[in-house]
Amino acid sequence: MLIKEKLSIRQFTLLTFLVMVGDMILIYPSLVTAIGKQDAWLCSLLGLPIGLGIMWVLYKLHRTHPQLSLFEICTKLLGTWVGSVFSIAYLFYFVIGAAICVREVGDFMTTQTYLQTPIRVIILMIILSLVWGLMHGFRTLGLTSELLTPIVVVFIVFLFLGLIPQAKSTNLQPYFDLPLIRIIDSTIRAAFTSFGELIVLSVFLPYVNPGPHFKRDFLLATLFGGLLLTLLLLLSIMVMGATVTQHSIYISYVLSQKINIGNFFERIEAFMAIAWLISTYFKSLLYLFAFVLGTAQLFRLKTYKPLILPSSLLLFALGILIAPNVIFYTDTIMPAWVDWDITVSFLIPLFLLLVYRIRSRKSKTISSDRIIP
């Protein structure tokens, strides 16, 4: 194994939660509301069992070869050449996912906080912190998640509590006013934009200490993250309305600016930005780590650390070139990204499971024929 360290189940579930909420804290409500309108909260709720089904498929794929990562499973089941093609496809997905997370942070900081700072400076600072995290290893990543996850949860709870007095149920009306096809479309988008991106965890599942409650904790972490995003979406519609939620890219940041309790508890948007930056950092770090680790496994290197610097330089270039502006990102990249999530997180794992079942049956048939005289 390229990674000698292993995480505890608690550390891995915390990382799962951070990757689940990640950049979704800011952009999830607008993504789902763009199609679901005022019924988007219901679509998000209906997407939870679909999301858990995605996680079940990923877990079953892991259990076929518990000691192998996603890239190694592809090679094991499909052979060297075909498996390498699938591995390269996943590498491309992970590096583009990391670049999008980095670009999201750059666009947010340059449009909301540091208006006069060049986006290249922001992206460079983010990548330097990612390199620092990768150089310190997988174990340090798990320990840091234990330290920072409570901060993210507390800040989000502050946001929810501050918004409750301004919530209006009339903004959810009329109920069930959308055609069935749009409800289905919005439900699929809600499930795969949040749960689908957890495919990156399949790279790190072999590096978790096994335990009797691993499956339960893994699914509960994703369920809790999905419920949190659904509640955030519901409050966004009840406070701002479906139209404003749809057209506000950083709706959670806008919501935090509206909080004012007794002219004392207000202006907590900095807290919301910190929570989003922490969760997005861990998500982009795991995506970059998966790219580095997968590249090392694909070329059968003895260590992944020499790949950190060139991968970070590639990420810097992609973070700048991936989109000319934030409008291009929201209008062009995100609609296509849902289809990509469906492919890499559900269709390909299902295909790999099918190949495993077929090969297992063939091996059992061959072994039984050898036993029978």
Band of pLDDT at residue 346, cut at 50, 70 and 90 = very high
Band of pLDDT at residue 245, cut at 50, 70 and 90 = confident
What's the pLDDT score for residue 294?
93
Q: Which helix (H) or strand (E) covers residue 27, if one does?
A: helix 24-36
What's the pLDDT score for residue 213?
84
Tally of CA atoms within 13 A in the half-sphere of 239 that contains its CB = 25
Q: How much is the mean pLDDT over the chain?
A: 87
Q: What is the CA radius of gyration of the chain?
A: 21
Shortest CA distance to 284 belongs to which of 43, 108, 116, 71? 108
- Please name the residue ranges forming H helices in 65-112: 70-78, 80-108
- Pairwise CA distance, residues 313 & 281, whole Å: 17
Band of pLDDT at residue 128, cut at 50, 70 and 90 = very high
3 state SS of 177: coil
8 Å CB contact between 287 and 98: yes
* Residue 293 or 169, more confident: 293
Band of pLDDT at residue 255, cut at 50, 70 and 90 = confident
Tell me: the pLDDT tens digits for 100-111?
999 988 888 888
Tell me: the pLDDT tens digits for 206-237?
999 887 888 888 899 999 999 999 999 999 99
Q: Count CB atoms within 10 A of the CB of residue 265.
A: 12
∠ at Cα 152 (150, 158), nearest 5°? 100
Cis amide linkage into residue 206, ω under 30° from 0: no
Residue 353 has pLDDT above 90, yes or no: yes
Tell me: the pLDDT tens digits for 69-103?
999 999 999 988 999 999 999 999 999 999 999 99
